[in-house]
Structure 1
Amino acid sequence: MTPSPILDLAGLTLEVNHLGRGVRFYSQVLGLELRRHDEAAGVAEFTVNPHQTLTLWQPITRQANDERLAPLRPRGASHLHYAWQIDPAQLEPSKALLDAHGLEWQEINLGTDDRPDPTLYFFDPFGHGLELRGVNRDDARQPHFPPTPVQRPAHALPVMGLREVALAFGDYAAMKERLPRAYGFAYAKEQEDRDFAQFTLGPQAEPDGNGTPRRWLYAWDPQVGLADMLGGDHALVRFYADVDAVAGQVDAAGLLSVRDEQGLAVRDPEGHVFEFVPA
């Protein structure tokens, strides 16, 4: 099997209706480092760790949040469900931190009784669904950039980095065929009882769950998932990749794209925009 050119998850862009409120939430609750805050452009960018970023876009009429990507008509994702990697020992203290911030949370065991995988779910002020997922840093299934602890303020959740992003696709069958063919995503599996596919963000498809440090793209039809969370619409997601290899597949698929010294950006037929950057 040809290895996937997709190497890892690099960053997400969320749509917000109030940039200042978003900056406060992600600075205080997640303890992310703010590296750009431009009210005129409607953009705030955070450093998650040395290899990942989180960006907030507030839509501004007749103005692109990013002129470079304007030909692709990107938007920040609405009601995106995404997950953070966290040390399992920090899940219990995180409940107290969420309480202190006045945030409702829900705990769900994604494992089994003999091999539990407790996970915490909560929402940001804009309806994006956040998840705290324990990661076993000794697991052999390492991503291109392995998770490492990041020093956060005492009042912030002790997250290491982004784990996964979940996107909605209206035409599920076409998506499941297109993502491997047009971009090279490694299809891992789908659930038996719902239209929910998992793609490993790495050279080979691998099993999910039970603390794997690997990172993931989840894709499902428009439905309510766990903890009443929805997959994101018109998402903007950045991936580390072999850009030349992805470009060859994108060109063969005839998809609208922009390429420059920063990497390759592609508009998916469902309206998502994917960026591929070198590692």
Structure 2
Amino acid sequence: MLQSLDHLALEVKYLDRAREFYTTRLGLPVERESDTELVFRAGETELVLRRPRAVPRGGLHTHYAFSTPPSEYDDWWARLEDLEPVEHSFGSARSLYVDDPDDHCVEIGEAGDGEGSGLTGIFEVVLEVAELDRAEDFYTDLGFGVVDRGDERRRVRLAGPMDLELWEPQLGLADARGGVHVDLGFGTADPDDAVANVRDRACAVERVDGGLRVLDPDGHSLTFE
């Protein structure tokens, strides 16, 4: 069983430019850094910004979503207004969308129980997949559950430690795209049990410190710890 989203890694070209956006515009402090990575935290999830020096690289043009208390949403809009955010509503919940300097589509949405302040977590990640049915089978066998399907677009929304959307190549809201070779990390009770149902369909499975790393059929890297 997947218990948490431990990390999301994105690829960036220039660490100094990425640092400026994520610290100044989004208010995330740097937890640690090296010559090739910056690591921030949103709730239980580490957001890793990584230069393309090794594999796993980190996702390209990844759409993902931060949660924020409803009471702070208007403040985020004012803070980012000069970036001309796009807004969409989902029932009573609002979300704004802006692009970071590396073309990742960053969503900030009213989510959660109103506790905390700032960006309180990552509640959605979108992956691009070549064959939706194959990807859906893979991720439901990891324990995600289907909650919604696209009517006009080939997409499916799954629920797990965060919401996971699988999109065949397309432009979504705010011209967002699903990420390519995204690097995700999950907390589990037992890494071997977590991957048992997909081991025969994974492109690769390797042991890493503290767990297992799996390459899914679309080239996304999944680490289970």
TM-score by length of 1: 0.75
Unmatched runs of 5 consecutive residues or more in structure 1: 65-72, 139-147, 151-157, 203-214
Aligned equivalents of 1:268, 1:44: Cα separation in 2? 25
What is the one-letter code of the residue matched to 2:12?
Answer: V
Residue 231 of structure 1 aligns to a residue whose secondary structure is: coil
Q: Is 2:25 aligned against 1:29?
A: yes
Q: Is 2:89 aligned against 1:109?
A: yes
Aligned equivalents of 1:247, 1:132: Cα separation in 2? 31
Map 1:1-279 onto structure 2 (within 5 A): 5-39=1-35, 42-49=36-43, 51-60=44-53, 64=54, 73-99=55-81, 102-111=82-91, 116-137=92-113, 148-150=115-117, 158-181=118-141, 183-202=142-161, 215-242=162-189, 243-253=191-201, 255-277=203-225
What is the one-letter code of the residue matched to 2:201?
Answer: A
Change in 2 beyond 3 A, CA 1:224/1:186: same
Aligned equivalents of 2:126, 2:3: Cα separation in 1? 17
What is the one-letter code of the residue matched to 1:232?
Answer: G
What is the one-letter code of the residue matched to 1:59?
Answer: P
Task: Check conservation: 2:7, 2:184, Cα contact below 8 A.
Answer: yes
Q: Deviations over 1:62-114 (max 9, x none)?
A: xx2xxxxxxxx422101100001111121111111113xx3220111222xxx
Aligned equivalents of 2:138, 2:195: Cα separation in 1? 14
Aligned equivalents of 2:19, 2:3: Cα separation in 1? 29
What is the one-letter code of the residue matched to 2:222?
Answer: F
Aligned equivalents of 1:229, 1:188: Cα separation in 2? 20
Aligned equivalents of 1:266, 1:26: Cα separation in 2? 28
Shift of 1:46: 1.4
Shift of 1:255: 4.1
Higher strand share: 2
Aligned equivalents of 1:233, 1:246: Cα separation in 2? 23
TM-score by length of 2: 0.91
Task: Check conservation: 2:143, 2:160, Cα contact below 8 A.
Answer: no
What is the one-letter code of the residue matched to 2:120?
Answer: M
Q: Larger radius of gyration, structure 1 or 2? A: 1
Unmatched runs of 5 consecutive residues or more in structure 2: none
Shift of 1:188: 2.7
Q: Deviations over 1:38-81 (max 9, x none)?
A: 22xx11111223x2100011113xxx2xxxxxxxx422101100
CA-based RMSD of the aligned residues comes to 1.8
Shift of 1:249: 2.0
Task: Check conservation: 2:62, 2:105, Cα contact below 8 A.
Answer: yes
User: Share of identical aligned residues, percent?
Assistant: 30
Residue 46 of structure 2 aligns to a residue whose secondary structure is: strand
Aligned equivalents of 2:154, 2:126: Cα separation in 1? 13
Aligned equivalents of 2:208, 2:181: Cα separation in 1? 22
